Structure 1
Amino acid sequence: MKTYPLALILPAYNEELTIEKTILEFYKEIPHAFFVIVDNNSKDNTSQISKNTLLEHSIRGEVIFEPRQGKANAIRTAFSKIDAEIYIMCDADLTYPASQIHSLLHELKEKDLDMLVGDRLSEGDYGRENKRRFHSTGNKLVLTLINFLFASKLKDPMSGYRIFSRRFVKNYPVLSSGFELEIEMTLHALDKRFRLGEVSVPYKDRPAGSFSKLNTIKDGFKVVQNILWIFKDYKPMHFFGFFSLISGILSLVAGCFPVSDYILYKYVYHVPLAVLAVGLMLFSWIQIAIGLVLHTVSKIQRTNFELSLIRYGIEASSQRQKISATSSSQRFIESEIALK
């Protein structure tokens, strides 16, 4: 598999109105990059327009077809098929400026980051341009939760404009299937302690005639679901500890009356409440036990991941040395041939 210095990945679903201009805007800025357009089972001419644009302007790249619906499925396919030193991911709807790519690349290399996110929120453009208010509310809820759980200071964990190092991409399993991809990427970077950064970028809404594929009610439910999954998967002690605390408090409240009966009358009149109090307290301790077990499992998984990351670094270094040695040998042979 050939390794490209820079690869641009554009997941696209029914983007015939914007895909050509998106490709050309990025080509104007990074003509040396390898362009990968992932047609995510589009029902319009997205795929053909992409192929024609690459061909007409002699742009290095390819169009990949991914029949499984969902942005995460498209990115998963691209990550598995394309090998590059640096990956750029961007939506194909003209909402993110290609002109900002140079500052993003500079920041990634300058600070040796594993993932750099184009922050839409700091400049205030997203609030003015975005016409879907409920999506903004969902973004804020997720942002608040992530910063609380990981003691981070992120500004836009759901941005679709990102740059990755090869180290991150080759050690990141894409487990989601749809728009939750950006949340999953951010959580993986925070949980596994990859070097993460943000750079403020302008944002503008889709051009006239182009429509978002998100559904406010359906995707709003997914946001709430994601909030619960973030708790459970990444901070199990917080998740189960919360339910344990609530159950424990309710148990004490329910148990006040039976205890009061026994103290005053040496007999329990509120038997149902006594049973309820015992059940709630048992449930509370069960939740604590589950939280402790999953916390230990999570710690073991992080330990194994760190070890695999170390092995990846050693293998990558060894591979670079082999390539360097091979190149040196070829140059030596060529010079000997030239002398003869």
Structure 2
Amino acid sequence: MSLSIVLPAKNEALAIGVTVAGIRQHYPHAEVIVVNDGSTDSTATVAETAGARVVHHPYSKGNGAAIKTGARAASGEIIVFMDADGQHDPTDIPRLLEFIEQGHDMVVGARQKGSQASVGRGLANGLYNRLASWMTGHRVADLTSGFRAVRADKFREFLYLLPNGFSYPTTSTMAFFRAGYSVAYVPIHAAKRIGQSHIRLLRDGSRFLLIIFKIGTLFSPLKIFAPVALLMFLLASGWYGYTLHAYGRFTNMSALLYSGSVMVFLMGLISEQITALMYKEKN
């Protein structure tokens, strides 16, 4: 199977040359695409000198937008996405491709302990992994890893879902699970990045969390709506028990909460039907 390796890059002149050279050393016949996301330094020049094909954004559109551009430009049947900052080791690529050859549709390099850039980010990723595992019903070892191999035709099915920011790994993983495609995880060690990170924990962390719930409503809406409906039902029952004991009557608040729980649950059922139509297989 033909192979394309896509690296989104914004102001990565310090790392991109070494990264591309390492890929070229191990995969001289692979198509290496660097998506220059409006860099203001010499990222594009360094990448071209190292042997990559550079696709330009006239201005910065975001990491996810660069991924989409790279996926559209790639000619390989298999696409490997890597960070351009030197965190990912090209020698790990064969381990990902081995699982692709076994029949998986997406293989993710799951960062092990000691690979996180900070304690805060490690805790946040742990939370994201648990939420995603609960929503999908499958173990998600690393939801936000940018090092992954995918079958190009299947990945392109979900380009319209991918956000333009840093959350493409989250969205693509959840979408593959929802579509019934096979996802596997390979343990890797991510090195310390070269240069300064573009991710801000509080700003981008809240966006990741929001996207998990947004994709959760696309993936399995009842897992979002049903707990809310149950909570409202329990609150209604508790308040009804209190008012019946204290005042001997059924109050408007209990009626409102009971009605709200039923409405939320029905909204979840309708959302499930809409989601099924969205993922209906097209001939």
Which TM-score applies when normalising by structure 2? 0.92
Tell me which residue corresponds to 1:200.
187
Tell me which residue corresponds to 2:237.
252
Gaps of 5+ in 1: 55-60, 312-340
Q: CA offsets per residue over residues 101-142 of structure 1, 9 Å max, x none?
A: 223223321x12211111212xx341xxx3322111111111
- The structure 1 segments of at least 4 consecutive aligned residues displaced by more than 4 Å after TM superposition are none
Partner Cα distance (1:165, 1:141) in 2: 28
Task: Output aligned runs, 1:227-242, within 5 Å.
Answer: 227-242=212-227
AA matched with 2:196 = F
Rg bigger for which structure?
1
Partner Cα distance (1:157, 1:215) in 2: 17
Tell me which residue corresponds to 1:34.
31
Q: CA offsets per residue over residues 278-329 of structure 1, 9 Å max, x none?
A: 1111111110110111111112223x2x2x2xx3xxxxxxxxxxxxxxxxxx
Tell me which residue corresponds to 1:323.
none
User: Paired residue for 2:141, among 151, 155, 161?
Assistant: 155
Q: Is the 8 A contact 1:119 1:159 kept in 2?
A: yes
Partner Cα distance (1:200, 1:131) in 2: 17
Mean Cα deviation higher: 240-249 or 7-16:
240-249
Q: CA offsets per residue over residues 179-224 of structure 1, 9 Å max, x none?
A: 11101111011111112112122221113xx011000111121133
AA matched with 2:92 = Q
Q: Is the 8 A contact 2:171 2:211 kept in 1?
A: no
Partner Cα distance (1:293, 1:139) in 2: 31
Counterpart check, 1:91 vs 2:88: no
AA matched with 1:141 = L
The number of aligned residues is 281
Tell me which residue corresponds to 1:115.
106
Tell me which residue corresponds to 2:71.
79
AA matched with 2:257 = L
Identity over aligned pairs, percent: 22
Tell me which residue corresponds to 1:211.
196
Q: CA offsets per residue over residues 4-62 of structure 1, 9 Å max, x none?
A: 921110100110100000000000000001111001111211112112222xxxxxx42
AA matched with 1:186 = T
AA matched with 1:33 = A
Task: Output aligned runs, 1:248-327, within 5 Å.
Answer: 248-260=233-245, 263=248, 268=249, 274-302=251-279, 304=280, 306=281, 308=282, 311=283
Partner Cα distance (1:153, 1:228) in 2: 17
User: Paired residue for 2:121, among 135, 141, 160?
Assistant: 135
Q: Is the 8 A contact 1:138 1:223 kept in 2?
A: no
Partner Cα distance (1:118, 1:261) in 2: 58
Which TM-score applies when normalising by structure 1? 0.78
Displacement of 1:262 in angstroms is 6.5
AA matched with 1:260 = H
AA matched with 1:87 = I
AA matched with 1:139 = N
Which is richer in helix?
Answer: 1
The 3 A distance-change label for structure 1 pair 274 and 96 is: same
Gaps of 5+ in 2: none
Tell me which residue corresponds to 1:314.
none
Displacement of 1:79 in angstroms is 1.4
AA matched with 1:197 = A
